Structure 1
């Protein structure tokens, strides 16, 4: 029997908005006891009360579904023909939200690691299936997955294709057998190119960035949260390079970072505030804790991830935390390092948990290539050739392995295209999947 859903409703600008809550099992296999609460917000445009549902899976991991202040972009386009369900993935938003504080209630690091093992894509799919059955019985629905949400959508195709009427993916087709090492080798190479492109656009910024890093190696500068800013952590600001507007955002962050205080060179307070805002994981600690585990599939991908981004970084001299004199300055991107669990106050309580997850050998497979090769579910995916976070070569290989999958391959977008041009992009995918 499906769990009972509890719903509260209100009106927003020509839409009924239903807030759904249901309680589901922590462990989809039933091997471990416990429950989690799952929350989803559903938008229904007037006159479309009987339209098919489309559930949106947010990027991440560890990020809640959007809280739209206005109905626009891809959401507005989707509501022209779907009822749209914005699902808070377990551990985020109002779906049993987790952070260092709430995880402390779970137990010690070993207990937390066992608990978090249920918060990957297979757990998200189980929650989506429970919600689908609670809302509409055995009728399948559509899924739109952005970035990590596309990873979860691919898991959905593998583990519960009967629940899917169609799948749309933007910037989120994972490698089916790709290890974390495979992914990071590709993303470091792409990050090196993006750095070169960035500094070609803003030649002065490389000297500025190098000067900031050298200053941080010699002087104590404190972020608003109280901890010292290190040069290696400063380099992780390069995650902005993966966004369409990231070049300008990073350039503005590096604008005039120094001042003089009582004759000494110091970083401006506004620079430290901006850096702290961009670098802290306080709002989404699960992103850091679970990040490498999204690629772990036990023996299928070589066992434990073992801090893959940290290890693979050593293969790329230009990304060394202590580059040789005269070497070009390079920011890192979507890479999580063990030392961040020593430097970021939001992550310090989770250090032992992260170590155990990085060492875990037996994560369950998330994708089934045999099921995907026999799939009859319509699939359309947008693949961006310049995507900094999801390597296009792995995405295209997966698209070829999913029966009937169609792709929109382009170099006109970066990873955040759904946010910036979602109306057009969703229309392209819907046309593609129905062709």
Structure 2
């Protein structure tokens, strides 16, 4: 008989060998998102004993027979009620098959803007729908943001099936409507799952009351959905965050350019170009965690050593010479407006791209997306909070931007109010649902000589 002993080191090694899935949850108010998150954590044994005991005590004090799993996230809701700003709550848990980082985004329409933050790095989005109400405007807005951010996988969780007697036609109608809408947006994969987060149906364990459904549970889908796109995919990009010059006796001539690799792979001996200056040189060394390496890839934070002494500062972008993007002062993008103050034509803003911030002018707002039928509302004149629309920008300095379809990091930007530093808008270069015909308006120049 052979006995296998599992040590903490062994468990840690097994966990590090599993894949990682980043996913976000979204849903309208009272769709049961808090209960779903609580059920997912509870049934996957990811809740600490003292946390569960606290929930059970709080539930009992309210006269409830069992634990109210939504209380696992009630602390965040209480903070919002007290006026504390919370963008996204991140939760970490794991099963034997996979590790997870969950971005739990607020459900109220007022906080739709925060879904942009939560879904910007997600590989999957779970969108909740109340089976009694079906697809509503907030559902369409969440689907539009997921499509805009190019989230590869979308799960439609039709919740509260227990309140519609677990009827298959109700689920089928909602799934058909949502899938048709998401397909028009360009979402490539939609998986619809009927659930009851309160009862636990199809969240972690299969439902005994919905035998007409033969698909995966929510957790089963999260554990098996393909992830792990090649982190080295795409042309290499390093936004320079800091210039390191220790000037010590041991390294009197050390000059390194530090930052987190946004895409691709850098190798010693590779010819690179520094943008926007256009100077070219060769990588003479790469330092990773204080040690020299021959190659480094996204998302590692590294220091590049270059063969030539050229002028490089924070905000510059180091790229392979053969795959250098063109620097431009004219940017067309789709944006999600996140500020309470409107974004208007002629608005003077700061544009932050990577580690570089430049002045910019909103030259035009050609259209705003109408979420009911995906039609563009032409020339709205302004975008208000939570609006999705097209903008044309003119920057004071050339920027080496990529298309968002090619790089989620170097194809995105934010617009900032120069007066108080408020984030106004999150933008994706070149993204569009149904781009209107371009309209040239000489008046949009407004005399700005950029």
Normalised to the residue count of structure 2, the TM-score between the two structures is 0.23
- Relative to total residues, which structure has the larger helix share, 1 or 2? 1
**Larger relative contact order (Cα-Cα within 8 Å, sequence gap ≥ 6):** 1
Which structure has the bigger radius of gyration? 2
More strand by share: 2
